[in-house]
């Protein structure tokens, strides 16, 4: 599944999407669960793993740390066997290619007393500093520094601490909790992130023997244990992918049933789509979205969970671009997430940016043009926009999309979308 940078999507607009789509495990969870396997000697098994590009990158990181890893793609199963003495240095090319690689930091410090992790790369959506990761580990007794492009953390014995995050950072919450599970004493983490993916991580940690209270709440208490054991766990469904299909139904005036997700994780999203005129039916394992007429304009503002997710801000702009009326989209999490709006304007969107606000005046229909994906979610939003544009739209740099959406082309084709993956000899000049 190595990405082919020169692949592009060719999307012909005008089709109303209809049918059923199943959602697999969450990108924002599976990588953290894989890293958690470092906390215990033996074999950990993860089911419902998504077929996305970041998974083999994390497999490469874990193998470099001494783990044996097998990936049964068709079965959605990853098996990780962690040695008694894993390496503490994750200084690999794979680490630099995706942001989630930093999630090995907490488990490595906790298990080996030392971690050397190359500063990660990933999406171009703005600054995501590691200062809260570092200050949290330092409160637990580690010494941290940035050296030769790597984050270095070292500790003799970690100890419990009272930590309050300045912002409910998902990554910092996860690294602090995974470091605290084997620390001596009790750690209290205030203003912790509450996302379902954080809950999923805490759940597998509890299955591995960790003692954690307040899971899913803003204050989490971790009582350190001496050792942990492997677990068998099913990855939580991907709420961002599920919501992307919900927006696809609304934008194309379609009818899509989404399965494999707890609809309660998307309360705010589904309420916004309902305000846009969609008919929402909740089910035990999913939901159905039916949009019969042109969407109404709706305002959005991104906030930490349970607010509207920043990962869905590009889809909100896509919906606003074809809605009836004017919409205001406010970005409160990542300052550079509006970069992709220029690509939406190429497609005929009437939008302009003012600081961390985007003002969008809806048009009846977008128009085709060559566009470029800058990150996972921006790429997905451009696909949705192309589905409601006149003519055929070429979307380039789709390796970004492959990092977060398994089999997007095939799933859209099953829903009636006119889309194909094409390989080109040379990337066109932008």
Q: Which residues are annotated as a binding site?
A: 27-28, 99, 311, 333
Cis geometry, peptide bond prior to residue 232 (ω within 30 degrees of 0): no
Provide the annotated binding site for phosphoenolpyruvate.
Answer: 27-28
CA 181 to chain centre: 24
Can you tell me the distance from the alpha carbon of 330 to that of 328, in angstroms, rounded to the nearest whole number? 6
As a whole number of angstroms, the longest Cα–Cα distance in the chain is 63
- Spot the catalytic one: 7, 47, 74, 123: 123
Can you tell me the distance from the alpha carbon of 12 to that of 416, in angstroms, rounded to the nearest whole number? 11
Cβ(251)–Cβ(294) under 8 Å?
no
DSSP letter for each residue of 403-417:
TT-TTHHHHHHHTT-
Give me 162's structure tokens: 């009272």
In the residue annotation, 74 being an active-site residue is answered as no
Report the SS3 class of residue 220: strand
Give me 53's structure tokens: 């590009």
Report the SS3 class of residue 130: coil
Provide the annotated binding site for UDP-N-acetyl-alpha-D-glucosamine.
Answer: 99, 311, 333
Cβ(334)–Cβ(310) under 8 Å?
yes
Cβ(200)–Cβ(29) under 8 Å?
yes
Can you tell me the distance from the alpha carbon of 238 to that of 56, in angstroms, rounded to the nearest whole number? 18
With a CB cutoff of 8 Å and minimum separation 6, the contacts of 58 are: 31, 34, 35, 94, 98, 100, 101
CA 198 to chain centre: 12
Active site residues: 123
């Amino acid at each position: 599944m190595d990405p082919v940078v020169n692949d592009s999507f060719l999307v012909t607009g005008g089709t109303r999407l209809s049918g059923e789509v199943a959602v697999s495990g969450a990108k924002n969870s599976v990588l953290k669960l894989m890293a958690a396997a470092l906390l215990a000697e033996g074999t950990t098994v993860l089911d419902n793993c998504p077929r996305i590009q970041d998974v083999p990158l994390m497999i490469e990181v874990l193998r470099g740390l001494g783990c044996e890893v097998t990936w049964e793609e068709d079965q959605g199963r990853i098996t990780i066997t962690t040695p008694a003495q894993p390496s503490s240095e994750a200084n690999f090319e794979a680490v630099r290619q995706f942001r989630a690689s930093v999630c090995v930091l907490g488990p490595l410090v906790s298990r080996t007393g030392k971690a050397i992790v190359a500063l990660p790369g990933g999406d171009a959506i703005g600054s995501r500093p590691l200062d809260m990761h570092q200050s949290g580990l330092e409160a637990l007794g580690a010494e941290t520094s940035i050296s030769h492009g790597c984050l270095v953390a070292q500790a003799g014995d970690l100890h419990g601490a009272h930590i309050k995050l300045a912002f409910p950072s998902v990554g910092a919450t996860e690294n602090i909790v995974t470091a605290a599970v084997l620390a001596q004493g009790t750690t209290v983490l205030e203003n912790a992130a509450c996302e379902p993916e954080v809950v999923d991580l805490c759940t597998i940690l509890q299955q591995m023997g960790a003692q954690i209270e307040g899971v899913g709440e803003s204050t989490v208490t971790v009582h350190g244990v001496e050792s942990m054991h492997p677990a068998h766990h099913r990855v939580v469904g991907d709420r961002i992918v599920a919501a992307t299909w919900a927006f696809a139904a609304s934008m194309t005036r379609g009818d899509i049933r989404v399965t494999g997700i707890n609809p309660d994780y998307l309360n705010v999203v589904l309420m916004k789509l309902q305000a846009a005129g969609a008919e929402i039916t909740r089910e035990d394992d999913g939901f159905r979205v039916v949009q019969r007429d042109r969407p109404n304009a709706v305002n959005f503002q991104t906030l930490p969970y349970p607010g509207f997710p920043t990962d869905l801000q590009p889809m909100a702009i896509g919906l606003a671009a074809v809605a009836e009326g004017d919409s205001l989209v406010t970005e409160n999490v990542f300052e550079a997430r509006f970069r992709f709006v220029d690509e939406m304007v190429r497609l005929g969107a009437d939008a302009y940016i003012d600081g961390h606000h985007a003002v969008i005046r809806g048009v009846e229909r977008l128009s085709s043009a060559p566009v470029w994906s800058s990150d996972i979610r921006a790429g997905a939003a451009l696909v949705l926009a192309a589905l409601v544009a006149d003519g055929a739209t070429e979307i380039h740099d789709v390796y970004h999309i492959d990092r977060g959406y398994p089999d997007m082309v095939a799933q859209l084709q099953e829903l009636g979308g006119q889309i194909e993956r094409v390989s080109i000899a040379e990337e066109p000049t932008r």
